[in-house]
């Protein structure tokens, strides 16, 4: 499951479609996905 989260995160960051212009949404997605990945690996 954590691999799937990592793949979705990478696809969002690399894709040309963004929720808002600039790097802000990419950084937010990166932080949220890393937190989810850590939470899943702890359980």
Note the pLDDT of residue 29. 84
| Parent domain of 20 | 2-42
Note the pLDDT of residue 43. 63
CB atoms within 10 A of CB 33: 19
Give the separation between CA 41 and CA 22, rounded to whole angstroms.
Answer: 30
**CA angle in degrees (0–180, nearest 5) for 33-36-41:** 125
pLDDT in tens, 1-43: 778 878 888 888 888 777 777 788 888 888 888 888 888 777 6
Domain count, the chain: 1
Residue 21 CA neighbour count, 13 Å, CB half:
0
- Confirm if 29 and 18 have CB atoms less than 8 A apart: no
Note the pLDDT of residue 24. 85
Rounded to the nearest 10°, the torsion over CA 24, 21, 8, 27 is: -10
């Amino acid at each position: 499951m954590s691999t799937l989260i990592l793949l979705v995160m990478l696809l969002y960051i690399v894709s040309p479609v963004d929720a808002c212009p600039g790097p802000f949404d990419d950084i937010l997605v990166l932080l949220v996905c890393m937190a989810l990945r850590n939470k899943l690996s702890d359980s």
